[in-house]
Amino acid sequence: MTNSRIADIFDEIADLLEFQGSNPFRVRAYRHGARIIRDLHEPVTAVLADESRKLTDLEGIGKDLADKIRTLVETGVLAQHQELLAQVPATVLDIMRVPGLGPKKAASLYKELNIATLDQLKAACEAEQVRQLKGFGAKTEQTILHGISIAAAANERVYWSEADAVAQDVKEHLRSCRSVEQLELAGSFRRGKETVGDLDVLVVSPDAAEVMNRLAEYSELAEVIARGDTKMSIRTNKGLQIDLRVVPAESFGAALQYFTGSKDHNVVARGLAKQRGLKINEYGVYRVDGDSEEYIAGASEEDVYATLDLPCFPPELRESRREFEWAAAGELPELISVDDIRGDLHMHTTATDGRATLEEMVAAARQRGLSYIAITDHSKRVSMARGLDAQRVLAQWEEIDTLNARLKGKFIVLKGIECDILEAGGMDLPDDVLAQADWVLASVHYGQQQSRDQITKRILGAIEHPAVTAIAHPTGRIINRREAYEVDIAAVFSAAAKHGKFLELNANPARLDLHDVHCAAAKSHGIPIVINTDAHSIDGLDCMRYGILQARRAGLTKNDVANTRTWPQLKKLIAQ
């Protein structure tokens, strides 16, 4: 039972309890517990296995939640969860996920109109029955009707990289409007989350109508969902929703802080403000004196945070994990940037499944300002990619030696390999061959449905292998398409730390593996992270920035990432 699955069950319990009208404090406890477990730097199984520790030592986890976590880990099910699912039709969960609805409104629809399926909801909206309910209205009814037709698409969050392409296009489109004075993106996009549900655009302009008219002319617009005096929502042809808000200049910083979030970060900030007799919302920071409120800040985010004697947190850190603790101690990390990267240590050429030659990848890397790369084509187990056997890899390394002689130290190409960890354990190439490499990535591509113990044993064996330098994409997940395979990640961390091995943050936007919470956990174990593109083409080298964004969310600095070092420095680190 993974942390993620436990958190999902707690979130679903919270939804079902809220649907039934249960005590709000009880609902909040489950949501809070879900967030704590999801953000935990280690598996709860590791805590349970340590006799010197208790789950109740985790802030926000009381005895009741701790008992339920233990039951989930030991049995895989929770009686309360099963009972709630039996009491509420399964189709009601689909209704809760329709944009514009949630547990409370879904409950009203169920109780008042006996609506339990999406089809029934659609029929009721078309018959104009929903608008008759208290708290709904004609506009809400239309929003729900739209939401039903796009529920599946709306619930599928897109990769940050895909959202970024739209975001840059929209920014360029809106900036051509003469009345736009300030413009920023907010929300989960600005925080760099690996997937994005919608785009929040904040604008300062003396003419809100002109800005909204300009957005209505966006070439990728599929429909205008809603439009008011200062707010407008559209959907693009690819199904991504864009929410535009035009705000006064004196509120821009407050609005940017508020709509960037996260919700949990903002809850802490508002609590700190309340302790000082202040109130923070999207309009500004106000000093509260009885019934009167005095505006004191809001034009910039720096001003907003300064009222709380806080630094302006990098957006990527605003998840209410450790940012407030770091700020209080004066230890807010200086986050890594793309400019810090010296080398890229995972890429493929036409020797296997890449689309560029060795020379082309070298030229492209030099053009991007790198000083070294590792060529890491697949080993022979990946037959569908024409993986290299011992003879072919040695021939490639001879070619690299020749190329390095021509480069005369102006750029360094490492002799590398992405060597498969075999299903039965062990490496895909002979030890005497691997010993000749400069850089060996070990990876799992096959047998991903094996048991947790089997996969963990395979990876630990690779970590213990003297020739292996790093574990590539350690959990094997493909975002929105494939869950991570079952692996004891805590055991992987312990072994990597013990044997002085690196763990990869694969920068491919479909992987981003390790994810941010795991990267933070690796840092706490003193394990160097290596951020690689896994490029299969020249353009693939540009994926580095997605990995950097994920690393920033983990709070990683330049010193935490191995390939920010020069090759001589990295070589020394490998030897250690």
pLDDT in tens, 55-82: 998 878 999 999 999 999 998 889 999 9
- pLDDT band of residue 154 (cuts 50, 70, 90) is very low
Mean pLDDT along residues 514-520: 97
The verdict on 110 and 190 lying in the same domain is no
Q: In whole angstroms, what is the distance from residue 153 CA to residue 151 CA?
A: 6
Quote the number of domains for the chain: 4
Confirm if 98 and 118 have CB atoms less than 8 A apart.
yes
CA distance 297 to 253: 9
Q: Which of 115, 138, 154 is a domain's end point?
A: 154
Q: How far apart are CA 518 and CA 509, in angstroms?
A: 16
Question: Is the domain of 399 the same as that of 525?
Answer: yes
What is the C-alpha to C-alpha distance for residues 105 and 107, in angstroms, rounded to an integer? Answer: 5
Task: Give the pLDDT of residue 153.
Answer: 47
Question: What token pair was written down for 54?
Answer: 């208790």
Compute CA distances 1 → 73, 86, 183, 507, whole Å: 5, 22, 44, 27
- Distance (Å, whole) CA 192 – CA 196: 9
Under the banding of pLDDT at 50, 70 and 90, the label for residue 325 is: very high
Which CATH number characterizes residue 290's domain? 3.30.210.10
Q: Please check whether residues 417 and 529 belong to one and the same domain.
A: yes
Q: What is the mean pLDDT of residues 167-180?
A: 96
Higher pLDDT, 574 or 238: 574
Instruction: Give pLDDT, residue 219.
Output: 86
- Establish if 162 belongs to a structural domain: yes
List the structure tokens of 11. 């979130």
In this structure, are 307 and 433 located in the same domain?
A: no
The three-class DSSP label of residue 159 is: strand
Instruction: Quickly tell me which residue has 């959907």 as its tokens.
Output: 235
The pLDDT tens digits of the residues spanning 222-234 come to 899 999 999 999 9
DSSP letter (8 states) at residue 527: P
Cα gap 286→399, rounded to integer Å = 67
Give the per-residue pLDDT at 347. Answer: 98
pLDDT over threshold 90, residue 479? no
Q: Are residues 150 and 204 in the same domain?
A: no
Q: In the prediction, which pLDDT does 94 show? A: 78
pLDDT in tens, 526-569: 999 999 999 999 999 999 999 999 999 999 999 999 999 999 99
Beta bridge partners of 293: 288
pLDDT at 507 over 50: yes
Kindly report, residue by residue over 379-423, the tens digit of the pLDDT: 999 999 999 999 999 999 999 999 999 999 999 999 999 999 999
State whether 116 and 264 are in the same domain. Answer: no
The dihedral region occupied by 243, where left means phi > 0, alpha psi between -120 and 50, and beta the remainder, is beta
User: Is 96 found in the same domain as 186?
Assistant: no
Write out pLDDT tens, residues 426-470: 999 999 999 999 999 999 999 998 999 999 999 999 999 999 999
Helix locations, 423-562, DSSP H: 431-434, 452-464, 489-499, 516-524, 544-553
pLDDT digits 0-9 by tens, 330-364: 999 999 999 999 999 999 999 999 989 999 999 99
Same domain, 23 and 89: yes
353 & 444 share domain: yes
pLDDT of residue 156: 67
Place of tokens 């730390």: 497
**252 in any annotated domain:** no
Residues 197 and 270 in one domain: no
Residue 196 pLDDT grade (very low, low, confident, very high; cuts 50, 70, 90): very high
* 146/162 same-domain check: no
Rounded CA separation 171/184 (Å): 8
CB atoms within 10 A of CB 127: 12
What's the whole-number mean pLDDT along residues 147-171? 79
pLDDT at 60: 82
Q: How far apart are CA 469 and CA 477, in angstroms?
A: 21
- Residue 253 lies inside a defined structural domain of this protein: no
- Stretch among 69-83, 88-102, 231-245, 368-382 having the lowest mean pLDDT: 88-102
Quick one: CA dihedral 17, 282, 172, 341, positive or negative? negative
Which CATH number belongs to the domain containing residue 145 in this structure? 1.10.150.110
Q: What is the pTM of this model?
A: 0.82
C-alpha 64/C-alpha 13 separation (Å) is 14
Instruction: Output the CA–CA distances (angstroms, integers) from residue 53 to 64, 108, 453, in the order listed.
Output: 17, 44, 23
Structural domain harbouring 268: 260-329
Residue 46 is predicted with a pLDDT of: 87
308 with 376, same domain: the answer is no
CB count in 10 Å sphere of residue 407: 13
- In DSSP terms, 202 is beta-bridged to 184, 245
> Is the Cβ–Cβ distance between 484 and 511 less than 8 Å?
no
